[in-house]
Amino acid sequence: MSGVISQVNLNDFTSNESQRQATFVQTIGDALAEIGFFILTGHGVDANLVSRCYDHAAAFFSLPESVKGAYGKQGINGQRGYTHFGREHAKDSTWPDLKEFYQIGRTLTPDYPLYPLFLHNIWPTEIDGFEQDFKNLYLQLERCAFQLLGACSLYLDQPMHWLSEMSEDSNTILRVVHYPPLASNQCPDGVRAAAHEDINLITLLCGSTADGLEIMDQNGSWIPVGANHQYIIVDSGDMMQNLTNGLFKSAKHRVMNPKDVTSNRFSIPMFVHPRNDIDLSPRKEFLGKTGNELRYESITAGDYLYRRLVEIGLVNEDDDEQNCAPQ
């Protein structure tokens, strides 16, 4: 239904009641097929942990530029550590987004077989508790994400672990975003986040610290989504859309500028990725539900990610490094 975002409780899916599970699967699948978004409650992510992480974010982004900049690493396309204000832009936008962010990936121990293939996290030493709390939040959100991918797989008439197995040992990213107060000399057409779709399979967005998020419905109208720490906002991304031949929609969304130009906004999304070697070619079993025509290309997740990072300004095209994630 236009203008309405479905709300579901994850406890229904994790219950032992088949009808509750089936209703959950049907509801989120229909939501992703119609608008590409739903609201999740009962997710099991510790609200106090999320609150502490937002406190850490506020403390980090208030550090001097020279200190924050020391946590930005060249040659890794912004995939770990700090990315400065004004670097990233939406795919089709000529203006940079009005934000800065910090990216955190999977934490592996040196004895893990894939350890040499992964980019490693960069942890600020100035903020007590930052590293441990964000490690814990990553684990809690990923556990929730795998449950949701299981429900999505069932909706698609696939084995429950079909999608989650694609994401095991992948370059799933936890991004900590700061939208600072608006400057008087900012770009006239600049917004906190211009209209865009996410790159990955699904995104889990912890309730932000302020309003501003808007989602486009099937009719092209924008739906405001208020900030609520009890919710996780879930959307399907371009990779999921490609894989399902458009059965699941990659929905357009944006973050609008506030009326109070002196206000800050923080958000923490998790971008759930498949491994680089996963083939995203549209599966033939979805053709009957999507007009019996291949609508999307054959491409690996790694190639897809690299191309999109170029499009949004995170890749230095003079840099030969294309390994944004482990193979």
Q: What is the pLDDT of residues 232-280, one digit of tens each?
A: 999 999 999 999 999 999 989 999 999 999 999 999 999 999 999 999 9
Are 35 and 215 a contacting pair, CB within 8 Å? yes
The third-level CATH classification (topology) of the domain covering 7-311 is Jelly Rolls (2.60.120)
CA-to-CA distance for 232 and 7, rounded, in angstroms? 10
Q: Is the pLDDT of residue 322 over 80?
A: no
Is the pLDDT higher at 89 or at 223? 223
Q: 193 φ, ψ to 5°?
A: -150, 115
Q: Is the pLDDT of residue 325 over 50?
A: no
Residue 227, number of CB atoms within 10 A of its CB: 16
Q: Of 65-79, 157-171, 204-218, give the lowest mean pLDDT range.
A: 65-79
DSSP classification of residue 173: E
Q: What per-residue confidence (pLDDT) applies to 320?
A: 39
Query: What's the mean per-residue pLDDT of the chain?
Result: 92
Task: Please state, in angstroms and as integers, the Cα–Cα distance from residue 189 to each residue in 86, 96, 97, 98, 257, following that order.
Answer: 13, 10, 10, 11, 11
CA-to-CA distance for 110 and 97, rounded, in angstroms? 36
- Give the mean pLDDT of 126-152: 98
Q: Of 1-15, 190-204, 223-237, 283-297, give the lowest mean pLDDT range.
A: 1-15
- Give the mean pLDDT of 302-314: 91
Q: What per-residue confidence (pLDDT) applies to 146?
A: 98
Of how many residues is the chain composed?
327
Q: What per-residue confidence (pLDDT) applies to 188?
A: 66
Q: What per-residue confidence (pLDDT) applies to 117?
A: 85
CA-to-CA distance for 157 and 244, rounded, in angstroms? 12
- Indicate the residue type of 299: I
Is the pLDDT higher at 316 or at 199? 199
Residue 94's pLDDT band, with cuts at 50, 70 and 90, is confident
Q: What per-residue confidence (pLDDT) applies to 317?
A: 53
Looking up tokens 């299981």 gives 150
For the sheet with 232-236, list strands across it: 7-9, 37-41, 232-236, 202-206, 265-272, 173-179, 100-104, 81-83
- Give the mean pLDDT of 298-323: 78
Q: Is the pLDDT of residue 210 over 50?
A: yes
Q: 240 φ, ψ to 5°?
A: -65, -40
Q: Please write the tens of the pLDDT for every residue from 149-173.
A: 999 999 999 999 999 999 999 999 9
Q: Please write the tens of the pLDDT for every residue from 12-29.
A: 999 999 999 999 999 999
